Amino acid sequence: MIISSHCRRCLFFKLIYLYEVPILSTRLVFLGTGSGKPTPSRGVSSVGLFREGELFLFDCGEGTQTQMAKSSLRPGGLKAIFISHFHGDHVNGLPGLIGSMVLGNREDPLTIVGPVGLNLWLSTLRKLNILWPSFQLKVIEVTEPGVVYKTESYRVSADVLKHRITCWGYRFEEFDRPGRFDLKKAQSLGIPPGPAYGNLQRGKSITLENGNVIEPDDVLGEARPGLALAYCCDTIPCEGAANLAKDVDILIHESTYPGGEEKMAKKRGHSTSADAARCAKKANAKKLILTHLSQKHPNKSIFIETCKSIFNNVIAARDLLEIELERREEK
Amino acid sequence: MIISSHCRRCLFFKLIYLYEVPILSTRLVFLGTGSGKPTPSRGVSSVGLFREGELFLFDCGEGTQTQMAKSSLRPGGLKAIFISHFHGDHVNGLPGLIGSMVLGNREDPLTIVGPVGLNLWLSTLRKLNILWPSFQLKVIEVTEPGVVYKTESYRVSADVLKHRITCWGYRFEEFDRPGRFDLKKAQSLGIPPGPAYGNLQRGKSITLENGNVIEPDDVLGEARPGLALAYCCDTIPCEGAANLAKDVDILIHESTYPGGEEKMAKKRGHSTSADAARCAKKANAKKLILTHLSQKHPNKSIFIETCKSIFNNVIAARDLLEIELERREEK
């Protein structure tokens, strides 16, 4: 591969080439997919969502930063971490990840969303010098269901899950994008190329020189739905999980136990793969990914076999599984 | 290998066979040997000392429990953890390790020794449900140099290191064992086999039927020195480290930087390999093992090359390095 150092475009390809990272994709990366205790073959809960240069983590179990180093993700673009609950296998990797970003001279602020207690935890860590962040930590303690993080392009909502302690599920949802611009139609309507095209794409009507008014709907196709994902971990079957999962493209749901072990699952505040499948079906999710799999079952097929009859489009996650996400229209 | 289930001796070998663990050895196991940030090839600070069925850890960085699972160590025999200081790369693995032992239904108490603040940290973790220990945590906050842990066979002392925050080094020291019993001499003195032999070995004099008094020194060889080890991490060169390392069999000393980078090392509160070698030489240590090696130097030979002229019996640790320890007399 010949790379010209004088060319910004080539520099861009050089970066991709050097780091072997598909930096423009939107993808999910499963950093830890086991429950309870990390093992050499399966870490504990953490899922990364990489979208347009930004990274979001859902939970941050011990070893998350090391798993990230083995994956295509890098912490540089990390914008926010969404913590479900305070059980150690969901949070014990957070202090180390923050500490390593400090050593890496991070300056950008980082948002941490999670249950009440985040401030107490982080302030204790600071007091003891376990953490000494050189960048701003924006802490959001969730106290009620609703939107917890929002930009112009997407929002993240939380809803109540039912576990042994306070636990939040999350829904990441892109806003619909305007429909595609119909160039032929614009030309046939006599719209001059230039700023008028942009105004119409941004939802503004324009008036032609002949006095005709053109509305955006005259030249734009149907609005294109954004991606929607839900992360429900840990929980017994509950309304909150179904709310979060409504019509999502991907539902990431805990499945500590395989189907058939509902009694034990409920007793421990968890779900089976069949419970997760019922949630996906009820919520009209497009695809179900099982995670938080008990380390007692090294063969994941049992989780799938015991739920596929309920919801067919299901897979069991494994550590470092990367899934490219395609928006519906692009499929 | 044929194993009889009726034979206790065979059951013992069966255990060794099944777990492939040299359960009777005394050994050091380096679980994490990097500084600052764990990487897939080098974890952060933790060293295990396995001795007569008991396990001790010095520091417990993130990933310690996963590294342990890759090594010959198991947490079942863990008696005590000695924490040097509160920087995350020395402590972030502790909550997860304790949590996993809870999941493993541990009942034995565990001693945790470390700087003032341990109680605040652990009580915060309990309050948030990050930890919910099912067994007793005996916390010892070190406030001054001296013995911090002691049994009939050994003691552990702490001394002050000089780092950016309060930091303790530790010395693990077996008490001298009585000299070997000289059977031929006992027979020549007319001592009858039986309880008299045991009493002499336990340091008690005995009186023979003919009225002769036999002192232990009459039948015992010279006292056999126990093992002594020192763990000094993190520190600049200081008196405390030299005190701890006095005449030890093994000095485990931090070496964040290779020799020649003393200026930077001192500025950051650390040592070079040459600093560690000077400490080993000054203290008359028998062997030096460098750890807490900067991740910036994947090739460890630079640490050795820059200190070997000062102290020759030196190695640089790597993750999962296991070193069998032999007592002096047994060499």
What's the pLDDT score for residue A179?
A: 87
Å between A279 CA and nearest CA of chain B? 27
CB contact under 8 A, A40 and B70: yes
What average pLDDT does range B138-165 have in this prediction? Answer: 97
CA-based nearest distance A76→chain B, Å: 15
For CA atoms A211, A217, A221, A227, give the dihedral sign.
positive
Give pLDDT, residue A5: 37
Q: Is B182 designated active site?
A: no
| A105 and chain B in contact, CB less than 8 A | no
Does this model's pTM top 0.80? My answer is yes
CA distance A303 to A318: 12
CA atoms B209, B213, B216, B219: torsion sign: negative
Q: Residues B203-217: what's their mean pLDDT? A: 91
pLDDT at residue number A16: 41
Question: Which residue did the predictor score with more confidence, A179 or A259?
Answer: A259
Q: A6 by DSSP, 3-state: which?
A: coil
Residue in chain B closest to A89 (alpha carbons) equals: B96
Segment among A75-79, B149-153, B200-204 with least mean pLDDT: B200-204
Closest CA to B125 of B140, B109, B107, B137: B137
Q: Taking 50 as the threshold, does the pLDDT of residue A212 lie above it? A: yes
pLDDT band at B331 (very low <50, low <70, confident <90, very high): very low
Tokens linked to B233 = 């991490």
**Who wins on pLDDT, B22 or A235?**
A235
Q: Is the pLDDT of residue B243 over 80?
A: yes
Q: Do A117 and B127 touch (CB under 8 A)?
A: yes
Asked whether residue B177 carries a pLDDT value surpassing 90, the answer given is no
Burial class (CB in 10 A: 0-12, 13-18, 19+), A56: buried
Residue A25 — very low, low, confident or very high, per pLDDT cuts 50/70/90? confident
User: pLDDT of B122-145, one tens digit each?
Assistant: 999 999 999 988 999 999 999 999
What is the ipTM score, two decimals?
0.87
Residue B145 exposed, middle or buried by CB count within 10 Å (0-12, 13-18, 19+): middle
Mark which residues 21-80 of A lie under 8 Å from B by CB: 36-40, 43-44, 62-63, 65-66, 69-70
Task: Give the SS3 label for residue B220.
Answer: strand
Task: Name the CATH superfamily for B23-177+225-326.
Answer: Ribonuclease Z/Hydroxyacylglutathione hydrolase-like (3.60.15.10)
pLDDT above 90 for B329: no
pLDDT tens per residue across span B97-127:
999 999 999 999 999 999 999 999 999 999 9
Q: Find the mean pLDDT for residues A254-267.
A: 97
Task: Give the start-end residues of each E strand in A151-233.
Answer: 154-161, 167-174, 206-207, 213-214, 228-232
The confidence band for B224, taking pLDDT boundaries of 50, 70 and 90, is confident
Which amino acid is present at A275?
Answer: D
Q: What is the pLDDT of residue B277?
A: 98
* pLDDT at residue A6 is higher than 80: no
CB-based contact (8 Å) between A192 and chain B?
no
Name which residue leads in pLDDT, A124 or B199: A124
